[in-house]
């Protein structure tokens, strides 16, 4: 099952009355991500700067970048789904050009997650953007 687009997620979240419902939605999104096998949870795929363990695997062999991610925390897996909705199967140029700050502002996300989760989210985004930038 494909994740909703970032625009669909923004629309979906606007229907919820409170952040508890939004968190449940985000966690449910994370459950749609298949995760990584243990063999791919290697130190080179571990994203530094995250409170939880987060692994990021990139497949750029067919043009658009495809990301496989995993985390040991359910809320982080949900946050990864939000990031993937913006970046999955996009070209390196589309990733670099995408305004992730505007997307996060539309989600009103960073006001509702802890600063350490916010830093981890930025680390994940940074790793994806750096990967895309290196391919340009």
Q: Residues with catalytic annotation?
A: 50
- The runs of H, that is alpha helices, within 55-114 are 74-87, 92-97, 100-107
Residue 52 in contact with residue 76, Cβ under 8 Å?
yes
CA dihedral sign, ordered 119, 125, 130, 131:
positive
Alpha carbon 61 to chain centroid distance? Answer: 20
Residue 95 in contact with residue 87, Cβ under 8 Å?
yes
Query: Any idea what DSSP says for residue 110?
Result: T
Nearest 5°: phi and psi at 124? Answer: -65, -50
Q: Is 108 left (phi over 0), alpha (psi -120 to 50) or beta?
A: left
């Amino acid at each position: 099952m494909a994740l909703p687009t970032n625009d669909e997620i923004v629309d979906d979240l606007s229907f919820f009355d409170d952040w508890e419902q939004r968190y449940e939605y985000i966690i449910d999104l994370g459950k749609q991500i298949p995760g990584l096998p243990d063999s791919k949870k290697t130190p080179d795929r571990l994203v530094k700067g995250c409170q939880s363990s987060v692994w990021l695997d990139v497949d750029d062999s067919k043009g658009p970048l495809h990301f496989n991610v995993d985390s040991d925390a359910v809320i982080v897996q949900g946050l990864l789904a939000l990031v993937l909705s913006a970046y999955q199967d996009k070209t390196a140029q589309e990733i670099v050009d995408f305004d992730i700050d505007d997307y996060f502002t539309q989600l009103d996300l960073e006001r509702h997650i802890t600063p350490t989760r916010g830093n981890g989210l930025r680390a994940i985004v940074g790793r994806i953007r750096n990967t895309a930038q290196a391919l340009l």
